[in-house]
A and B are shown apart, each in its own frame.
Chain A
Amino acid sequence: MLLVLLAIILAMGGVMFLNRAFTPEYGLDLAGGTTVTLQPVTPNGSAPTEESLNLAVSIIRNRVNGSGISDAEVAKSGDNIVISVPGAGQEEVVKLVGTTAELRFRQVMAVTAGSPPPPGQMPTQAPTPSPTPAATGKQTSKTRQPAQTATPSPTGSPAGRALSSALTNPSPATTPAPSDRPRKNASPSAEPRKNASPSAEPSKSAAPSAQPTPLPTDDPMAGVDTTGIDPAVLKQFEALDCSKDKGQGAQDDPNKQFVGCSQDGSAKYVLDKAAVTGTSIDTATSGVDQTTGEWLVQLSFKGDGPSQWSKVTTTAFNSQPPRNQVAMVLDGVVISAPVIQEPITGGRAQISGSFTQVTADELASQLKFGALPLKFEKSSIDEVSSTLGADQLRGGLIAGAIGLGLVLIYSMLYYRGLGIVSVLSLVVASVLTYEAVVLLGEFAGFRLSLPHIIGLIVSIGITADSFIVYFERIRDEMKEGRRSLRTAVEVAWVRARRTILIADAVMFIAAVVLYFLAVGGVAGFAFAMGLTTLIDIVVVFMFTKPFVALLAKNKFFAKGHKLSGLDAERMSTQTTADSKSTPQEA
């Protein structure tokens, strides 16, 4: 047991070392952070309603605290919303949190390159599969990257994410049909579509849909089927240059046709009226694709969502390219426009792409917590220092250290030899807690704030209690005067173990309930509480008990030496008659 524990401690230390993470991440109150003010933008410039502001605050709060342990703050300030996130340089996070996240599904009506190709660029592109939308070069401004998927979209879907039902297996050989595509003006020299044949490496990321500039012609509108497109929209479409304006902030009216750009600006779309809107999303979760190992976001629809979704996918499936794609438009930007391989019934969909865990989580939480009722632009970004000031932290730590010293002195005085066990147990618990806090900061965004530190200090009491319970039980057993120390250690353990588990279970239930039901700092605190409870159990089971058992074999303790904490005088608490008896059997 002791060795297993040592291995755990060393392993956690090793991970810390590998990640160069040696200090915990601190919360707003201790380390300061980034404060961003978001200003609502209303179409007519009027003040937003109180109601929509409150709704926006609660949605943003949920998004920023999706995991509940990052300890961020969201508050209204007049008509603005102020978000404070711990840590410097968190503007990106705040920006994502402040995006409206209005998601719409629209059937694609027409696609062309996002902007007229710059002169002289084409020849160099020709022989190789050209830079794809997934190529990272253009993506610096956004965290989310559209990317290739294992599903080839032979029609050259410029946004790389594929959308399929959860049940549909991407089958590379489906509908290769390159000839379906109206591309009559494509000059052979600029032809990048060397992968259009079904045999060409469909699973390579850069492969079939590597068509960021699929129509390098003088007239971008050539060959575009304009039937059914509102002339006004068509005009807008022709005027749109995605390299200058990606259409972010454009009025995205679900009841009208829509013109928008892909996220990287490489393609522009005319899209039909919204078929399904984000309000029909029931839940959104991030997860890993079992077959490809890629991160993806899974959606399920509610209400009319499933039937609308099935309808639009059926229509798209029965249409000619490019109208066999359904675009997902998030805040006016086409984040994905996959080809529909088959009608999708059952009300589920998934978005795949080269998500990282972070970006998949972000999108999922944006979709899950709903669209913001207002558009925002950020009006100021500030790096702020800690709210408490360094002096408070220092004061707390010094006082805490003094307090711990007192605890150690007390347990040595009271438990004498056994005090060594309690001191070492506390040391082991502290090391484990520190490692856990550092690792959680590194991998789960856990931020240590002052209440957490105080909570951890209090948890010392709870940890200490576990072995106080145990020691008292051992003494009880010894007092009965008929057991050797070695037996007493074992018998007492059985009884103490039950008490410790029941009491820790109460703490753990408290932690779990608060974690899932509360928001903000309370959730983070509950998390710390659950963590220390688990550590308590680990320490008592894997350190205190084995260590006491080990000591029991030692003469110093077994014979009840005066300084061992198990001496005869200590144990002689029976009534007068047997007060002289020694704890051991004769």
Chain B
Amino acid sequence: MSGIARRLYRGEVDVDFVGRKKLWYGLSAVLLVISIAGLVLHGLNLGVEFKGGSVFSFKAPAADIQEVRGTFSDAGVHQIIAQTTNNGWRVTTESLPPEEVTTVQKSVAQKFGLPQNQVNLQVIGASWGGQVADKAVIGLIVFMLAIILYLTLAFEWKMALAAVVALLHDLVITAGVYAWSGFEVTPATLLGFLTILGYSLYDAVVVFDMIKEVTAKLGTTSKMTYTQAANNALNHTLIRSLNTTLVAILPVAAILFIGTTLFGAGTLKDLSLALFVGMIVGTYSSLCVATPLLVTLKERESRYQAIARRLAAHGSAAKSTRQPVTAGAANGSVPETDKRGKKK
């Protein structure tokens, strides 16, 4: 082991997350803009469950599921849910215009040797339409309020706000990935979103808990600004964050890459993509969005400003117990750490 890997392994890292907040804010802003542009320009590719669709039913006892799916996708259908019933096949597709319905009926009839009028069509409404989606949205709003309330009680409102902003950030970016990739949004995907929501918050809470612990020691005579303390805390939990993300993401990555290359696309791909992107963004945002945001909010408090001013006046911030900190306080601004590695 050497270099970064070794330092990581020994928990010997010192990355100035908070000091680079302009970089992170910029990066996030770009990602958000791209995502929102995708949502506006492309929109989401909503599945049958949300939009309704066409249901074809026919009898083809000899056909297997691959054949049936193949026939439909050759006919130009994108979303195919093939099911066997006790009297034949039932294939649900996206809402098709009349001429395409005829095309599909023709090719199915041809493939399985049926008269065309024995390929029946029904139009089906959304099973996850209006009311279900509305309730999910209401649930989400109440959930956010409940979380803000809880985190305000457990921590403080600034942390609650920062955590929820990071959460929204993750959701928008994940949605943006869907918009640009054109992956289908199904109920399964929606549940993937909800998982991200839980995961992202969980991650932020663990980080904030550490920040709270470290910054609790700050007093009028302390030798660290809030920024430095928070950054310390971040580095402290960095190993945990990376380990947790890796452990959580390995199975998802396996499903996304192995599962979909070996077994083809489908719900699995749609769902695991949401999780994969969401988890990476979630880890990034608790380190690089939530914390800098929290620091920005906290540094406005007079007691932390006082510490910052005092340390600036002394010309240097004293070393913390854990990491050397060089104060960049020449111009009286908040001292920032600027060390990537350690001086040996």
Contact = CB atoms under 8 A, between A and B. Distances in A.
B11 A74 contact: no
Interface in A373-416: 382-389, 391-392, 394-396, 398-400, 402-404, 406-407, 410-411, 414
Contact of A458 (B126, B135, B248, B256): B248
Contacts of B85: 35, 382-385
Contacts of B123: 77-78
Contacts of A472: 11, 237, 239-240
A152 interface: no
Interface residues of A, number: 86
A511 B250 CA distance: 24
B305 interface: no
Given A522-B139, A525-B194, A404 B248 contact: no
Contacts of B243: 414, 468
A57 B243 CA distance: 46
B299 interface: no
B9 interface: yes
Interface string B242-258: 01111111111111101
Interface string A513-535: 11001111110011001000000
B135 to A, nearest CB: 5
B341 to A, nearest CB: 12
A507 to B, nearest CB: 5
A505 interface: yes
Given A382-B85, A391-B264, A455-B191, A404 B251 contact: yes
Interface in B123-157: 123-132, 135-136, 138-139, 142-143, 146-147, 150-151, 154
A431 B315 CA distance: 58
B202 A506 contact: yes
B255 to A, nearest CB: 4
B250 to A, nearest CB: 4
A510 B275 CA distance: 17
Contacts of B199: 458, 461-462
A41 interface: no
B84 interface: yes
Nearest to B143: A513
Contact of A454 (B154, B195, B201): B195
A96 B253 CA distance: 43
Given A383-B85, A414-B9, A507 B191 contact: no
Interface string B62-97: 000100000000000000011111110010100000
Contact of A514 (B11, B125, B194, B246): B194
Contacts of B256: 399
A150 interface: no
B228 to A, nearest CB: 16
A561 interface: no
A507 B124 contact: no
A355 B7 CA distance: 67
A190 interface: no
Contact of B90 (A382, A571, A575): A382
A460 B251 contact: yes
Interface in B183-209: 187-188, 190-192, 194-195, 197-199, 201-202, 205-206, 209
Interface stretch (B19-27, B103-111, B266-274, B327-335): B266-274
A389 to B, nearest CB: 6
B132 A506 contact: no
Given A77-B125, A461-B249, A506 B147 contact: yes
A515 B237 CA distance: 31
A503 B136 contact: no
Nearest to A385: B84
A518 B135 contact: yes
Contact of B252 (A58, A389, A457): A457
A482 to B, nearest CB: 13
B122 interface: yes
Contact of A406 (B151, B194, B202, B250): B250
Contacts of B344: 576
B202 A475 contact: no
A410 B136 CA distance: 37
A475 B142 CA distance: 39
A61 interface: yes
B210 interface: yes
A387 B83 contact: yes
Contacts of B84: 384-385
B127 A502 contact: no
Nearest to A514: B139
A465 to B, nearest CB: 4
A399 B146 contact: no
B247 A461 contact: yes
Given A509-B147, A509-B150, A575-B324, A403 B205 contact: no
B143 A514 contact: yes
A465 B259 CA distance: 25
B217 interface: no
A513 B146 contact: yes
B191 A522 contact: yes
Nearest to A499: B209
Interface in A244-292: none
Contacts of A411: 247
Nearest to B84: A385
Contacts of B83: 32, 384-387
Given A414-B9, A510-B201, A517-B135, A77 B55 contact: yes
Given A403-B254, A450-B271, A451-B271, A82 B86 contact: no
B61 to A, nearest CB: 14
A385 B150 CA distance: 43
Interface in B28-42: none
B255 A498 contact: no
A342 interface: no
Interface of A: 29, 32, 35, 54, 57-58, 61, 73-78, 82, 84, 382-389, 391-392, 394-396, 398-400, 402-404, 406-407, 410-411, 414, 449-451, 454-455, 457-458, 460-462, 464-465, 468-469, 472, 475-476, 479, 495, 498-499, 502-503, 505-507, 509-511, 513-514, 517-522, 525-526, 529, 569-573, 575-576
Given A462-B198, A475-B11, 4 more contacts: A384-B83, A391-B263, A519-B132, A573-B10
15 contacts: A74-B127, A75-B129, A383-B85, A398-B259, A406-B251, A455-B195, A462-B199, A462-B202, A475-B11, A479-B11, A495-B213, A502-B154, A506-B151, A570-B10, A573-B11
